[in-house]
Amino acid sequence: MDLRVGRKFRIGRKIGSGSFGDIYHGTNLLSGEEVAIKLESIRSRHPQLEYESRVYRYLSGGVGIPFIKWFGREGEYNAMVIDLLGPSLEDLFNYCHRKFSFKTVIMLALQMIFRIQYVHGRSFIHRDIKPDNFLMGTGRRGSTVHLIDFGLSKKYRDFNTHKHIPYRENKSLTGTARYASVNTHLGIEQCRRDDLESLGYIFVYFCKGSLPWQGLKATTKKQKYDRILEKKLSVDVDTLCQGLPAEFGEYLKYCKNLKFDERPDYLYVARLFKDLSIKLEYHNDHLFDWTMLRYTKALIEKHCAALNLDLEHPEMDAAENKLHRFHQTRLLTMKKFSSHFHYFIVDDRHTPTPEEVKRQTAENNKMQSSLPEDLLIAIDKGMESMKNNQPTSPLVTDQHNTQQQYQQPQLQRDPRGPRDPASNGRVWV
């Protein structure tokens, strides 16, 4: 069946779900452009899509904000057509087996902070900050983090006078409990500080793989929310951030100390991570963990085919072989790009200094691979090519079959402080 919206957009396969509707792959029949189409039943008890489309239009033009192409009613549905993006950070986190390096988290943090700053600067708060709502772009925008799903967003101040909404209590929890701020759990009206606190929990989640309040059992949603709040109150910032560089704890402490109507110092919190990046001698080169792992995987497969090698283990089933191949890929990538892959160490109970973190470089260099020696020799050239910023072939991303060329821009440190990595040098103040 040929289902269309807005006459020219054909609906394809389902690719996801938002807070108030399902999302489908679509095609512009006139231009061939791929798009995303979000559908919401007109019988929905709490219709949100028209409101969300208005928010997208208002935020239009911001770096990392998808462009809305059409909104209207089609039959029994409200439909919104927007830019088609790549995988979410949650998808990529799972691809990397639920572990991001400090470098990747820092590069993401800088972009995510600036996305939130832009939304706040336009008088809205998001109120559902979570990894699923941050998506990477495709093609030329493949290294840009995008913020989506504004169905729960809210205007926190008057557009003209900038008068802040009043302080209120006894509000129901809006958003996702795992990443919700403590004040949101306590029923306090959400404001800018809550979006930023949620970001802080995401950063810890990306580094450690989980948060202490995950997996709690309860019989009702209210009981579960209460247990999550109890755990959040019992785990202080220092305990939560054990094993992470001090800047992660400093970020969360700053967010938790903000007053209800206080404007956050976005430049300060971005500078925390920018300065940490400099201390750890990282470059904001957009070479994320998944970029390097996928590239290494492609090289291994290419040279295995050329050398007629089969890395399958007959004693393992398909799932075990897949896991084994991933670990082989990660081990080789960590060895070849040893200064990139610094991770949280599970047993670490103190705050590591930059010097202690950088010691992982030497440990990565000592790693031994069980891959055949002739294969290791064959892929060395490709590895050096990537290090020198001249990949031998483009990488095909897992979603939407979009080719993404990896380029390492020559960055100069801006004396004015951190900038949005995707804003072409614009400094946000």
In a domain, 57, yes or no: yes
Domain end marker among 257, 280, 303: 280
Tens digit of each residue's pLDDT (9 = 90 or more) over 182-197: 999 999 999 999 999 9
In a domain, 425, yes or no: no
Is 356 found in the same domain as 218? no
Q: Which band of pLDDT confidence, cut at 50, 70 and 90, is reported for residue 374?
A: confident
In a domain, 399, yes or no: no
Whether residue 424 has pLDDT greater than 70:
no
Active-site positions read 128
Mean pLDDT of the 151-158 span: 97
In a domain, 168, yes or no: yes
Residue-wise burial string across 310-335, b where 16 or more C-beta atoms lie within 10 A, e elsewhere: eeeeeeeeeeeeeeebeebbbbbbbb
Mean pLDDT of the 372-399 span: 60
Number of domains in the chain: 3
Count, residues in the chain: 429
Q: What are phi and psi of 125, to 5 degrees?
A: -115, 150
Tens digit of each residue's pLDDT (9 = 90 or more) over 10-22: 999 999 886 678 9
Are 66 and 83 in contact, with CB atoms under 8 Å apart? yes
Is 346 found in the same domain as 306? yes
Whether residue 177 has pLDDT greater than 90:
yes
Lowest mean pLDDT across 55-69, 100-114, 277-291, 399-413? 399-413
Are 328 and 311 in contact, with CB atoms under 8 Å apart? yes
Q: Which residues pair with 35 in a beta bridge?
A: 26, 83
Whether residue 409 has pLDDT greater than 90:
no
Of 401 and 145, which is predicted with more confidence? 145
Is 219 found in the same domain as 200? yes
Report pLDDT for 257.
99
Are 135 and 2 in contact, with CB atoms under 8 Å apart? no
Radius of gyration for the alpha carbons in the chain, expressed in angstroms and rounded: 23
The pTM of this model reads 0.88
Is 205 found in the same domain as 258? yes
Whether residue 206 has pLDDT greater than 80:
yes
The amino acid at residue 263 is: R
Is 214 found in the same domain as 75? no
Write out the residue range of the structural domain in which residue 196 sits.
87-280
Of 418 and 241, which is predicted with more confidence? 241
Is 275 found in the same domain as 126? yes
Whether residue 62 has pLDDT greater than 90:
yes
Whether residue 413 has pLDDT greater than 90:
no
Is 74 found in the same domain as 172? no
Domain end marker among 83, 100, 128: 83
Tens digit of each residue's pLDDT (9 = 90 or more) over 98-129: 999 999 999 999 999 999 999 999 999 999 99
Report pLDDT for 16.
86
Are 147 and 420 in contact, with CB atoms under 8 Å apart? no
**Four-point Cα dihedral 360, 366, 371, 372, nearest 10:** 160
Residues in binding site for ATP: 38
In a domain, 104, yes or no: yes
Is 124 found in the same domain as 48? no
In a domain, 420, yes or no: no
Domain end marker among 44, 60, 83: 83
In a domain, 415, yes or no: no
Q: Which band of pLDDT confidence, cut at 50, 70 and 90, is reported for residue 321?
A: confident
Q: Which band of pLDDT confidence, cut at 50, 70 and 90, is reported for residue 199?
A: very high
Whether residue 394 has pLDDT greater than 70:
no
Is 209 found in the same domain as 131? yes
Report pLDDT for 196.
99
Is 169 found in the same domain as 266? yes
Considering the chain, what is the average pLDDT of its residues? 89
Is 316 found in the same domain as 173? no
CATH number of the domain where residue 53 is located: 3.30.200.20
Whether residue 263 has pLDDT greater than 80:
yes
Report pLDDT for 45.
87
In a domain, 395, yes or no: no
Mean pLDDT of the 335-344 span: 94
Is 356 found in the same domain as 248? no
CATH number of the domain where residue 121 is located: 1.10.510.10
Residue 284 in tokens? 């904001």
The amino acid at residue 401 is: N
Report pLDDT for 7.
92
What is d(CA 100, CA 98) in angstroms, rounded to the nearest whole number? 7
Tens digit of each residue's pLDDT (9 = 90 or more) over 34-44: 999 999 999 98
